[in-house]
Amino acid sequence: MSDPFVEGGLGELESPLYREALAQLDRVAEVMGLDDNIHARLRVPQRATIVSFPFRREGYYEVETVFAYRVQHVLTMGPTKGGLRYAMDVNLGEVAALAMLMTWKTSLVGLPFGGAKGGVRVDPTILTRPELQRLTRRYTAELINVIGPDRDIPAPDMGTNEQVMAWIMDTYSQHVGHAEPGVVTGKPPELGGSIARREATGRGLVSLLPAATSHVGLTLEGARVVVHGFGNVGQYTALAADELGAKVVAVSDVTGGIYNENGLDIAKAQEWVAENGNLAGFPDVDTVTNEELFELECDILVPAAVGGVITKDNADKITAKIIAEGANGPTTLEADLILKERNVFTIPDILANAGGVTVSYFEWVQDLQNYFWSEGEIVARLREIMGQAFEEVLNISITEGYDMRTAALVKGIRRVAAAKLVRGVYP
């Protein structure tokens, strides 16, 4: 196979995350016998845009030069889709790696997208609202020919939110001369944002738990659930699990965890966090550290905070029979091997947290059609897509002898490869 990289280095894509994404692709390509030409194409993003632009801070004469990126990994199956993050450590390699993972995720659940990701190298926490708005509008203007409802559709990621999406939609619409809600997802509902997007990732994850528990010989009703992270994904995972009769015994955030062996009042914890900003001080519960949380007696563990938290140091202390990865990349390679040996059933991130991008897809479809669905329709269609993807991944895992993570990647990569092969090489 031809290697586009020079002497083993990754050139401008050099970054630990890109190395990891590539190692994962190479490993799965080998076990699934992926066509060499397709494999070589998939190792590099199809388009990567790097821009720098002037950014005026509040002090009128203070102008900074900001670097920003948008990477589109695969343009074969439709427009590209992926989040936009504002963070100080954003670089081309990281954004390219995340774009590649979005390709596998969207393909796995059968959405008509390739993967993309964007990033602006700034610290959003020190910016005023007008600064954030100016930055977002200039970034959008720089990418005016790169994004669009039929080209590439950004969504919120770290450091960006509904308001940032609204400014992108407005800037894009000003440039093209008419309102174009389909250019971003994760917008406020007033602009064509989808209801139920906020809850989508947690709900999507929990919709897989009845089938997963029955596969390992448990029932979800009464199952003990532990959730690491109590932000968007963690809160709605805990709520949805609670609604289905599971017993959420512990949740945690960056300040630590709360525990009640008889089950926590999740709605109350959510209210507490809305009022106080975090879980610290929540009354009438035991407290646990984030380290202790992973060792609690439970049936289902949902990492829903940050990456790299299940490691070789805690993997053999985990008592859960199921790990459903709400966060991206929560399990290290070494931990994965330990969990596999211990027969812990893992629902990998690209499957478990695909509910978010699935409802983003619904938002895009509704915007294009100017026809909005009810919450019931959205939830039912989300469940259908997630359920089908789960069944297919489980089936590949059983019939072809892969672990669930490999099976999910095989399914995602297979669809992209098939699309590339039938399109052929131009010219």
Binding to ligand NAD by residue 159, rule CB under 6 A? no
Binding to ligand NAD by residue 233, rule CB under 6 A? yes
Contact (Cβ atoms closer than 8 angstroms) between residue 139 and residue 68? yes
Q: Which residue has the tokens 């699990």?
A: 241
CB of 1 to ligand NAD, least distance (A): 31
The window from 139-147, 213-221, 231-239, 315-323 that contacts ligand NAD (CB under 6 A) reads 231-239
The window from 33-41, 159-167, 302-310, 361-369 that contacts ligand NAD (CB under 6 A) reads 302-310
Residue among 344 and 359 whose Cβ is closer to ligand NAD: 359
* Closest-approach residue to ligand NAD (CB): 231
Binding to ligand NAD by residue 154, rule CB under 6 A? no
CB of 159 to ligand NAD, least distance (A): 10
Binding to ligand NAD by residue 253, rule CB under 6 A? yes
Residues of span 346-365 touching ligand NAD by CB under 6 A? 353, 356
Binding ligand NAD (rule: CB under 6 A), the pick from 163, 260, 270, 290 is 290
CB of 318 to ligand NAD, least distance (A): 16
Binding to ligand NAD by residue 113, rule CB under 6 A? no
Q: Which residue has the tokens 């359920």?
A: 387
Residue among 223 and 304 whose Cβ is closer to ligand NAD: 304
CB of 230 to ligand NAD, least distance (A): 4
Binding to ligand NAD by residue 206, rule CB under 6 A? no
List, by residue number, the catalytic residues. Answer: 117
**Most distant CA pair in the chain: distance in Å?**
68
Residue among 278 and 319 whose Cβ is closer to ligand NAD: 278
The window from 11-19, 94-102, 299-307, 365-373 that contacts ligand NAD (CB under 6 A) reads 299-307
The window from 71-79, 247-255, 387-395, 405-413 that contacts ligand NAD (CB under 6 A) reads 247-255
The window from 48-56, 66-74, 163-171, 248-256 that contacts ligand NAD (CB under 6 A) reads 248-256
Binding to ligand NAD by residue 229, rule CB under 6 A? yes
The window from 121-129, 169-177, 323-331, 417-425 that contacts ligand NAD (CB under 6 A) reads 323-331
CB of 389 to ligand NAD, least distance (A): 14
Spatial CA neighbour of 155 closest among 123, 201, 222, 110: 201
Binding to ligand NAD by residue 326, rule CB under 6 A? yes
CB of 65 to ligand NAD, least distance (A): 28
Residue among 325 and 367 whose Cβ is closer to ligand NAD: 325
Binding to ligand NAD by residue 252, rule CB under 6 A? yes
Measured distance CA(165)–CA(220) in Å, rounded: 36
Residue among 32 and 324 whose Cβ is closer to ligand NAD: 324
Residue among 114 and 330 whose Cβ is closer to ligand NAD: 330
Binding ligand NAD (rule: CB under 6 A), the pick from 88, 176, 306, 368 is 306
Measured distance CA(320)–CA(26) in Å, rounded: 30
Phi-psi region of 253 (alpha: psi -120 to 50; beta: other; left: phi over 0): beta
Binding ligand NAD (rule: CB under 6 A), the pick from 201, 358, 366, 406 is 201
Pairing verdict, β 63-72 and 80-86 = unpaired
Q: Which residue has the tokens 């809600």?
A: 181
Binding site for ligand NAD (CB under 6 A): 201, 228-234, 252-254, 290, 304-306, 326-328, 353, 356
